[in-house]
């Protein structure tokens, strides 16, 4: 149809999209084994894609098209995170379920699951539409779904391998817990939700037994006095016995002056000093024992309400003395276990105190803060109560402030993998030093990963408890469950989700008894997506296509998908082997003023809205051209109409200029090939070809090193500065020369320009597939997909 006089990117998209989609289908159906695979980081199906997602999807598609032009056959299947807490919370909201989690069961788990599936279908359609508009090559017909039975069975293989390695452990531990979601969270999830909060800063007195002095103890969580077990001091700190206001108090030397001012102690004098290690073993009287009878009972034992010397105590904070609540602190529980102190945790699933909490029974624990402070005041045990603002972790989904509490759960004990995860991470290419160091630091922590969740819509933990002998029966596939089943109420084709899997009773693998029940946990949604390389590929594909040569996600995935992929990959391999050989961490997309995008601020740029206003290739080029891929982007839609538009408009006009003039002279520019300069080439022709070779090298090296912006800038420089502003003006005089003997000179210029534009079309194709496909077909009469990547 030829090139229009004016570039219309929307019209170009409509023309090119069907061809590009057909080419992708043909490539996927081609005979022979693929060379490599992109493992899609599955977006969660509970929300609309936004500008941040656009950046990541464009980078992946750019890599796919680049490697395809280099002659590789790349498997690029879509992937969808279709279960887990985010989807479940959305379903609760849609169903109008509020309050305790038990209300879900009152309405029927089947109702919740049906709503989860409806939400997933709805948002899946929106994501597929954005991918189509954006020109993303991911094959949705071959997509993996984390909620599918096939995927779940393969994910269970990770658990089997973890058990074989001795990594998986059932434990009672202090876990970060969300009161709103009513489930445990992993250490990685905790790190995603820090924000400023206001909490009490409480100083109270605990009288030493047989002594007139009182310990001045500090905490920012007054409710944990209900479960108080010990007071900790630093063994090497000097503690001062001071006289103030007619009583004696014991405070750390480091904080003495600051505390006296903060608590308004007035004049005081130091009576004596003692090392923290010398306070070890001293007994104290808890000021609230009359309010919590069960705590009073425990206080009658030898271990409870004793001073302990522990090196973790921060002498520069509070009073230099901290209270230890084994039910509410990871370090606290470790100390209690080491010292044989019983853990007292009268807190239920709704994070309310149980009857064992005495006066505080039935109260949400954080609501008990005020009551604890008032009781201390009434007993003369309050030293000072202030408010502090600090960074405190909140649930990454519900936004509720987290509570640490002792609960039973299932953990990957990552320290049991030795150095394997660190060694695997160290062998990966990250392209940039900063994200590499950050990720290696996170991996080296080897913190236990709590993989169990007390929810419903997720991969069930496949373990059954026997009421007869107490042993556990693990079953890691549908076949194993069917073979062990005493009854199958829903037949052999039951769905591998709650509530259907919970209706099955299996024979105990230890005693053969049938009084068994499945432990009602599901797996962490990050465990689901972390199994993607293993669960989305067949056994033969895994051995051939893993490790994946290139994965990319946002910088927040250093504690998310990149981390869980690595851990599960090492567990499956039983060796220091990551499922990816390179990982690019992308910077966040911010608003034009550098603020984080959020619904509450009203500054979120929806992907569908953006693509409704702007041509896809302009959006693609902008995100790839704007900045270094690991840096945040201050997204400003106005910038799409500046340099990115100028690049495409200039390239379009150059194609139109060549087509018009070469046609007038009867020169077939499809003859333009690689190699040396054509016969009759002038100095400007040779210069243009030399600059072209330099550009090919710069783009290739830039893409290989994930300096994507540098590759884009190299194309920009060649198109605008070299071709449009330098070469064409230099060649114009020859092209307009119609004297005898000038035809050969004009033909050489046309062929040089054609070679340059054909090469630029290929270089720019991974960035702007619609425009380059259209230009290449109209100017040269052949599909760009049939071309090979230019070689310098």
Alpha-carbon distance of 70 to 77, in angstroms, equals: 19
* pLDDT at residue 77, rounded to an integer: 95
Query: Longest C-alpha distance within the chain, in Å?
Result: 119
Q: What is the three-class DSSP state of 351?
A: coil
Q: Are 12 and 770 in contact (CB under 8 A)?
A: yes
- H/E stretch holding 349: none
In the chain, which residues fall in CATH 3.90.740.10?
194-393
| pLDDT one-digit tens code per residue, 307-363 | 999 999 999 999 999 999 999 999 999 999 999 999 999 999 999 999 999 999 999
Composition of the chain by helix, strand, coil, percent to 5 = 45, 20, 35
In 663-711, which ranges are E strands?
Answer: none
∠ Cα 246 251 253 (to 5°): 120
In the chain, which residues fall in CATH 1.10.730.10?
642-786
Residue 430 token pair? 């990250």
pTM of the model: 0.91
| CATH match of 642-786 with 1.10.730.10 | yes
Angle between helices 743-764 and 683-704 (to 10 degrees): 10
* pLDDT at residue 626, rounded to an integer: 96
Q: What is the three-class DSSP state of 514?
A: coil
The residue whose two tokens read 């139109």 is 656
Q: Which of the residues in the chain have pLDDT under 70? A: 1, 671-673, 740-741, 785-787
Pairing verdict, β 321-324 and 230-233: antiparallel
- H/E stretch holding 343: none
| pLDDT one-digit tens code per residue, 530-559 | 999 999 998 888 989 999 999 999 998 998
Q: How far is CA 532 from the centre of its chain?
A: 14
| Topology given in CATH for the domain delimited by 194-393 | Isoleucyl-tRNA Synthetase; domain 2 (3.90.740)
Alpha-carbon distance of 377 to 656, in angstroms, equals: 85
The residue whose two tokens read 């309010």 is 291
Residue positions annotated with a catalytic role = 42, 81, 526, 557, 561, 596, 599
Any idea of the CA torsion for 106, 107, 109, 110, to the nearest 10 degrees? 150
Alpha-carbon distance of 721 to 716, in angstroms, equals: 8
Residue 66 token pair? 């680049």
Residue from 414, 415, 413, 443 nearest 428 by CA: 443
* pLDDT at residue 390, rounded to an integer: 86
* pLDDT at residue 718, rounded to an integer: 98
* pLDDT at residue 159, rounded to an integer: 98
The residue whose two tokens read 């993303």 is 136
């Amino acid at each position: 149809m030829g090139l229009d006089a004016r570039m219309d990117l929307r019209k170009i998209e409509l023309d090119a999209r069907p061809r590009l989609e057909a080419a992708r289908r043909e490539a996927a159906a081609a005979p022979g084994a693929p060379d490599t695979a992109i493992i899609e980081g599955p977006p969660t199906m509970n929300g609309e894609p936004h500008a941040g997602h656009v950046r990541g999807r464009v980078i992946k598609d750019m890599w796919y098209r680049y490697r395809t032009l280099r002659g590789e056959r790349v498997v690029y299947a879509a992937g969808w995170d279709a279960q887990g807490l985010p989807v479940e919370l959305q379903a609760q909201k849609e169903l109008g379920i509020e309050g305790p989690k038990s209300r879900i069961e009152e309405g029927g788990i089947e109702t919740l699951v049906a709503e989860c599936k409806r939400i997933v279908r709805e948002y899946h359609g929106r994501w597929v539409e954005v991918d189509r508009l954006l020109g993303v090559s991911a094959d949705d017909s071959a997509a993996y779904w984390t909620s599918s039975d096939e995927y779940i069975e393969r994910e269970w293989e990770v658990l089997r391998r973890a058990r074989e390695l001795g990594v998986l452990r059932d434990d009672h531990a202090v876990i970060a817990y969300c009161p709103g979601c009513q489930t445990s969270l992993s250490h990685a999830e905790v790190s995603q939700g820090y924000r400023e909060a206001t909490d009490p800063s409480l100083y109270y007195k605990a009288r030493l037994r047989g002594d007139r002095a009182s310990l001045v103890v500090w905490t920012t969580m007054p409710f944990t006095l209900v479960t108080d077990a010990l007071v900790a001091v630093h063994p090497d700190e000097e503690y001062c016995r001071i006289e103030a206001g007619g009583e004696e108090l014991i405070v750390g030397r480091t904080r003495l002056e600051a505390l006296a001012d903060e608590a308004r102690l007035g004049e005081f004098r130091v009576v004596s000093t003692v090392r923290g290690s010398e306070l070890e073993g001293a007994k104290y009287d808890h000021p609230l024992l009359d309010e919590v009878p069960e705590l009073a009972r425990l206080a009658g034992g030898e271990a409870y309400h004793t001073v302990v010397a522990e090196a973790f105590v921060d002498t520069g904070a509070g009073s230099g003395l901290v209270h230890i609540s084994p039910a509410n602190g990871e370090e606290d529980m470790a100390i209690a276990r080491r010292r044989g102190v019983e853990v007292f945790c009268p807190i239920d699933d709704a994070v309310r105190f149980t009857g064992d909490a005495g006066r505080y029974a039935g109260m949400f624990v954080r609501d008990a803060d005020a009551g604890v402070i008032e009781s201390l005041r009434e007993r003369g045990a309050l030293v000072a109560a202030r408010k502090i603002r600090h960074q405190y972790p909140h649930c990454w989904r519900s936004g509720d402030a987290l509570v640490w509490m002792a609960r039973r759960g299932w953990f990957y004990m990552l320290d049991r993998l030795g150095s394997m995860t660190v060694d695997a991470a160290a062998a990966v290419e990250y392209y940039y030093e900063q994200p590499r160091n950050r990720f290696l630091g996170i991996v080296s922590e080897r913190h236990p990963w709590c993989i169990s969740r007390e929810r419903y819509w997720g991969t069930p933990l496949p373990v059954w408890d026997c009421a007869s002998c107490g042993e556990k029966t693990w079953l890691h596939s549908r076949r194993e469950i069917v073979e062990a089943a005493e009854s199958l109420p829903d037949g052999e084709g039951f769905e591998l989700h709650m509530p259907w899997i919970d209706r099955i009773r299996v024979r105990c693998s230890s005693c053969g008894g049938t009084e068994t029940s499945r432990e009602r946990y599901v797996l962490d949604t990050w465990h689901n997506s972390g199994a993607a390389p293993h669960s989305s590929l067949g056994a033969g594909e895994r051995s051939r296509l893993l490790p994946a040569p290139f994965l990319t996600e946002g910088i927040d995935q250093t504690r998310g998908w990149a981390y869980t992929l690595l851990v599960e990959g090492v567990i499956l391999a039983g060796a220091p082997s990551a499922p990816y050989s390179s990982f690019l961490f992308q910077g966040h997309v911010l608003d034009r003023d550098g603020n984080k995008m959020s619904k509450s601020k009203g500054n979120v740029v929806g992907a569908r809205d953006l693509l409704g206003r702007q041509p896809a290739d302009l959006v693609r080029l902008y995100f790839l051209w704007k900045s270094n891929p690991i840096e945040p982007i201050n997204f400003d839609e106005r910038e799409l109409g500046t340099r990115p538009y100028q690049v495409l408009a200039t390239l379009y006009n150059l194609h139109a200029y060549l087509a018009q003039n070469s046609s007038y002279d009867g020169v077939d520019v499809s003859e333009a090939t690689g190699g040396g300069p054509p016969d009759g080439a002038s100095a400007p022709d040779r210069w243009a070809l030399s600059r072209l070779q330099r550009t090919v090298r710069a783009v290739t090296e830039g893409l290989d090193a994930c300096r994507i912006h540098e590759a884009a800038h190299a194309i920009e420089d060649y198109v605008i500065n070299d071709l449009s502003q330098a070469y064409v003006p230099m060649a114009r005089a020859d092209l307009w020369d119609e004297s005898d003997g000038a035809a050969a000179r004009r033909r050489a210029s046309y062929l040089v320009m054609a070679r340059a534009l054909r090469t630029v079309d290929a270089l720019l194709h991974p960035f702007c597939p619609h425009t380059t496909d259209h230009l290449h077909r109209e100017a040269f009469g052949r599909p760009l997909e049939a071309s090979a990547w230019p070689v310098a």
